[in-house]
Amino acid sequence: MIDDLLLNNKLKALLSQKTTKSVNMKSYALKAAEDLKSKDGELLKTVHLKGENLGYYWSESEKKLILVPRKAEYYLLPWKKDEMGRVFLFLPHFLLSGVIIAVDPDEIDELGYN
């Protein structure tokens, strides 16, 4: 009897998630847009990496060199430079994920604000 009640509660929870899927997607999009602002509410600058094709850069999240596209649209994070004088860029993959890389400021072409 208790197992049946627990199963019914799980099914109800799953059904309620399906009916609110479009609302969830909208809230994810709004959250992603908010995350592209600084703590002060200012938009983050968009940048490209100089050069063509792909390049290896240090990933802060993965703690290793990763291969990334140079002409992708990155966001310049308002963080302090690391001990090597590199700035941090964010490359979004999906609404709630992405990669943070450390880049020498001389390797950046600023595009402005998106």
Cα(91)–Cα(73) distance, integer angstroms: 7
Nearest-angstrom CA–CA distance, 54 and 78:
24
At 60 the pLDDT is 82
**Domain CATH code at residue 89:** 2.30.30
Residue 40 backbone phi and psi in degrees, to 5: -80, 0
Same domain as 65, residue 25: no
**Count of domains for the chain:** 2
Assigned domain for 40 exists? no
Does residue 17 belong to any structural domain of this protein?
yes
Structural domain including 12 reads 2-35
pTM for the model stands at 0.66
Give the pLDDT score at 3. 44
Is-contact 49 103, C-beta < 8 A? yes
Q: What is the mean pLDDT of each run of 10 residues along the chain (114 residues)?
A: 46 49 51 61 87 93 92 90 93 76 95 76
* Whole-angstrom distance, CA of residue 47 vs CA of residue 110: 4
Q: Are residues 56 and 77 in the same domain?
A: yes
Specify whether 66 is located in the same domain as 26.
no
pLDDT at 7: 45
User: Do 29 and 69 reside in the same domain of the chain?
Assistant: no
- Indicate the burial class of 90 (C-beta count within 10 angstroms; 0-12, 13-18, 19 or more): middle
Same domain, 78 and 106: yes
